[in-house]
Chains A and B, each alone.
Chain A
Amino acid sequence: MLHRLFDVISSLKLTVVCLSLAIVLVFVGTMAQVNFGIHEVQHRYFQSLIVWWPPASQGLKIPVFPGGHLIGAVLLVNLIAAHLRRFRWTWRTFGIHLTHLGLIIILAGGLFTDLLSVESFMRLAPGETKNYSEDSRAMELAVIDGSDKELDQVTAIPEARLKQGGTIESESLPFRVVVRHFYQNSRLQPLDKAGPGAVSAATQGVGSQVVVTEVPRATAENERDLQSVVVEIAPGQAAPSLGTWLVSDQLGAPQTFSFAGKTWRLLMRPQRYYKPYSLTLKKFTHERYAGTQIAKNFASHAVLNDPERNESRDVLIYMNHPLRYRGETFFQSGFEQDDSATILQDVYNPSFIAPYVACVIVSAGLLFQFGYHFVGFLRRRKTSPAQ
């Protein structure tokens, strides 16, 4: 029984089936990009175990196709099993083994990248210094104690924690934050324009004049979710609640309240990733070809400052020339209108080296395999000039 199972998972048939499924999935995932943003497509087709239908439904969903992670994982197992079973050292098959070793590295590397890599952005205006990058999607609720004039004390609650709901306690906060409702994607509307029967989102702050409604998640390329949360600020068991606040991605300025003689601010902002070093933008340049609007180059001239490692130096980040520093890579990604600020993409991907290694191994393997057989073929033709 176990033997037969091993036969199946190491069989060439399984390889061909997986590859065929992969080709269909890639095609469907490509065509889907006409209607949906790349992030949505990746999430739905490639970075999933199962492709569901209908995709957005909260209720009943039917599995219609294996997702990218499932196909990839099965292929990986199939690949390893097949080589365990058939491995025999000969020059004839050396290239095949080498090629597949490289493929294992690529598949495993891809899986690790999906699981471990973090992408964020750093937006810098000339002269500005930042020691953090921001997530392009995930938000955080920042509770800021601004009583110290020199230094803000920030307690940030990530989106993932807000989604769980319940009561949040922290040593840095003299009160508890109770999540009343988290909206993954929401629209705000003034209360007086919302029509009869509308209920204000919160009792305090802006929220008392605003109605919040949940809307379906954003799927198009140029849209993103606008998260909102209603929180209650509750001091202790005995003291009365301070009321509820609506904090939202759509509200610009922070809202304030007083507690224990201090003024606190509440703000929804992109989730931040702090670093032990900082970047200061000296200058951003955007060159065009003479007499055209075609961009020739974008470049950010910045200063890297790392007190921990005692490093302070000028860095130049431009197209195809990222800055790699302490395991992270900063790319020239874009710019604000009128070139008023540069946008750097910050990628943390510990397995970025895998494709580089794999590329060399697979190329060598294929080249050897086909070359070996091609030379043999030519030799046979020479010895039998029948044709």
Chain B
Amino acid sequence: MKKFAPWIALAIAVLWVASNSRMPKAAPLDFNLVAFAKIPLLSDGRNKPFDTVARNSLLIIRGKQTLRLEDGRTIDARRWLADVLFNAPLADSYPSFVIHNPEVLGLFGWEQTERKYFSYGEIQPFLEKIDTQGGQAENVESAKRTPYQTAIYNLRNSLILYQRLKNSLRPEDSPNFTGEIEACMQAMPAGLEATAKQSKGENFDKEKFNSFARLTARFQTLAELSYLLPVPPDPAGTGPHEEWISVGASLLQSISTGAVDPATKSYALIGDAYHAGNRETFNRNLADLTGWMAKNEPKAAGRAAFEFLFNQLEPFYQAMGLYVLAFLLVCFSWLGGNRSLGIAAFYVLLIALAIHTFGLGSRMYLQGRPPVTNLYSSAIFIGWGTVIIGLIIERIFRDGVGSACAAAIGFITLIIAHHLAGSGDTLEMLQAVLDTNIWLATHVVTITIGYSAMFLAGTLALIYVVRGVFTTSLTKEAAQSLTRMTYGVICFATLFSFVGTVLGGIWADQSWGRFWGWDPKENGALLIVLWCAIILHARWGGFIRQRGLMIMALFGNVITSFSWFGVNMLGVGLHSYGFMNKAVPWLAAFMVSQLVLMALASLPLPRWRSFAPGLK
């Protein structure tokens, strides 16, 4: 049995990944929403598939990527978006909006119950109230908003997003949008003539003028409200628009050109078919649109299809599962003294790392950027870096410690990333000053690897303390080997933190005109460098030994988490990307836990179970 254990573990890992990697298929007689989800469009400044819009929008509005209906059925984000885009009355009845805050509920005269999700239809009577209250909250700095203000402000944004989505591809109240477009095109010659006469002050056909004006006014509204820009640019020089535009804008252009853009026509057709419940027409027109996109926008279509695949595979979620498995395997190998389980853990970690790397690489390909561009991606990258260093340590020492640290930090950073993703698109466009791949690739990456190493050193110290205080397993050899690892990792952290900080200074010199400005994020990086320097010098001077090193490495966790997250919570400074209030209690809890560990480590040696008999 012992012999097979690693193979069983590996088989479980592979099966789990495979079962999570099945691609969804639309039922043959249903709307082909899978094909729809792969169609490219432009929103928030970048090309993406409808699938991403669906997932992110539902995440912003509901806080989850799926929707549970009141009858217990669960629908995915694709179905939800299709209903919002094409069948607004139905979507209005879905409990899409999450409201936790009792004061917001109180605003509507509702008592807080178990129910957290509400439909647009239920909220509709209070839209005006929400708009005024949310508008007031908007004027308060985000760091100074009360929980109520934050909640009402977010709700207002969710509602705006929802209403814009409903009016992105067709007017939400239109029973037959194709018909409307045709009517407008037919009324156009007479309507334009009447308009021209009216502006010249001549006699004009009032009825034709009015009906034409009414029809174009609807396009105008659509162009103003639309959140999505789904109509691709005309092939160079052949048409009036060179960028992706909205359906409404495309129709307004049709009034001057006299021709309806093929993509716009397709969207109207598939929208009407969905609205009418006509599956066959929907799928036929969708196939036309897909083919047209592949021919006219091959690059955007290819990327969108890849992003769909990336969304579907959820590599970080799968890696998370494997990190848990690897961690358990290491723990079992320690408990049972079974080395083969430790080897299994190593291989599971390799698979997890491969998937993690695939996810990281996919994001880089989709964004065309180095790996770290915001707080979310920094969490992903810290995890990735730590796993690699952890695996190298494991290869050198082969005692499970490197694997355990890699698995634990890999899992925790991915969980943190998961919670940072709540604000929508994690592949967002970059502010002008960040629009430079050289510095993102050098400064940001090195500094983030520095964070990885600091956390790894802290975790090694944690293992030292927990094993030493609570178990008898920390032998002299084990303690020495942990010390070597920690010391080595701190040296590594010093190198990367220092180089990263100086590179950051040079970037600042290039873009802001000064090498160093004592900005909070800069100071955070400096704190890490100083702390590393103190540890190294204290050790060289013999002021600290094993335990001193461990205590200081634990405090390194506190400093690094302050530098990574804490300074962003101050709400000041130039690096004010990714502000987040919600994490304050978590950060505080983490810091306190590290202080507790430091206190534990300071217990007199006879209190340590490993050292009690006077080992040292």
Which residues of the other chain, A, contact B436 by a CB distance below 8 angstroms? Answer: 319-320
Contact residue range for chain A?
35 or more
Q: Is A23 an interface residue (CB 8 A)?
A: yes
Which residues of the other chain, A, contact B523 by a CB distance below 8 angstroms? Answer: 26-27, 29-30
Residue among A27, A30, A347 with most chain B CB within 10 A: A30
Main SS class of interface, B = helix
Inter-chain contact B432/A331, CB cutoff 8 Å: no
Q: 8 Å CB contacts to B: which residues of A1-42? A: 12-13, 15-16, 19-20, 22-23, 26-27, 29-31, 33-34, 38, 41-42
Q: Is B75 an interface residue (CB 8 A)?
A: no
Which residues of the other chain, A, contact B494 by a CB distance below 8 angstroms? Answer: 366
User: Given the complex of chains A and B, what is the CA–CA distance between A109 and B515 in angstroms?
Assistant: 10
User: Given the complex of chains A and B, what is the CA–CA distance between A85 and B523 in angstroms?
Assistant: 31
Q: Is A113 an interface residue (CB 8 A)?
A: yes
Q: 8 Å CB contacts to B: which residues of A279-317? A: 289-292, 294-298
CB-CB nearest in chain A for B43:
A291
If A42-B518, A221-B572, A359-B503 touch, whether A352 touches B511 (CB-CB below 8 Å) is no
Query: Which residue of A27, A106, A370 is within 8 Å of B492 (Cβ)?
Result: A370
Which residues of the other chain, A, contact B431 by a CB distance below 8 angstroms? Answer: 294-295
Inter-chain contact B537/A33, CB cutoff 8 Å: no
If A366-B495, A370-B492 touch, whether A387 touches B513 (CB-CB below 8 Å) is no
Inter-chain contact B498/A356, CB cutoff 8 Å: no
Q: Is A381 an interface residue (CB 8 A)?
A: yes
Which residues of the other chain, B, contact A119 by a CB distance below 8 angstroms? Answer: 513-514
Residue among B514, B571, B573 with most chain A CB within 10 A: B514
Inter-chain contact B567/A30, CB cutoff 8 Å: yes
Q: Is B477 an interface residue (CB 8 A)?
A: yes
Query: Which residue of B42, B492, B510 is within 8 Å of A320 (Cβ)?
Result: B510
Q: Is A231 an interface residue (CB 8 A)?
A: no
The interface on chain B, measured as residues whose beta carbon lies within 8 A of the other chain's beta carbons, has a size of 64
User: Given the complex of chains A and B, what is the CA–CA distance between A329 and B513 in angstroms?
Assistant: 7
**How near does chain A come to B490, taking the closest CB pair, in angstroms?**
10
**How near does chain B come to A134, taking the closest CB pair, in angstroms?**
15
If A291-B43, A362-B502 touch, whether A23 touches B531 (CB-CB below 8 Å) is yes
User: Given the complex of chains A and B, what is the CA–CA distance between A297 and B527 in angstroms?
Assistant: 32
**How near does chain A come to B427, taking the closest CB pair, in angstroms?**
12
**How near does chain B come to A349, taking the closest CB pair, in angstroms?**
7
If A16-B541, A319-B433, A378-B396 touch, whether A359 touches B506 (CB-CB below 8 Å) is yes
Inter-chain contact B510/A31, CB cutoff 8 Å: no
Inter-chain contact B492/A289, CB cutoff 8 Å: no
Query: Which residue of B229, B492, B520, B534 is within 8 Å of A19 (Cβ)?
Result: B534
Which residues of the other chain, B, contact A319 by a CB distance below 8 angstroms? Answer: 432-433, 435-436, 511
Which residues of the other chain, A, contact B244 by a CB distance below 8 angstroms? Answer: 290-291
Inter-chain contact B502/A46, CB cutoff 8 Å: no
Inter-chain contact A38/B488, CB cutoff 8 Å: no
Inter-chain contact B435/A16, CB cutoff 8 Å: no
**How near does chain B come to A273, taking the closest CB pair, in angstroms?**
14
Partner-B contacts on A (CB < 8 A): 12-13, 15-16, 19-20, 22-23, 26-27, 29-31, 33-34, 38, 41-42, 46, 106, 109-110, 113, 117, 119, 221, 289-292, 294-298, 319-322, 329, 331, 333, 345, 347, 349, 352, 355-356, 358-359, 362-363, 366-367, 370, 373-374, 377-378, 381, 387
Q: A13-B541, A359-B505, A363-B502 are in contact. List 6 more A-B contacts (CB 8 A).
A: A12-B540, A19-B530, A19-B537, A33-B572, A291-B244, A347-B514
**Contact sample, A vs B, 30 pairs, CB 8 Å cutoff:** A12-B543, A13-B541, A16-B537, A16-B541, A26-B523, A30-B524, A30-B570, A33-B573, A38-B519, A38-B573, A106-B502, A109-B515, A119-B513, A290-B45, A294-B431, A295-B432, A319-B511, A320-B433, A331-B513, A347-B513, A347-B514, A349-B513, A352-B515, A356-B506, A358-B502, A359-B502, A363-B498, A366-B494, A377-B488, A387-B481
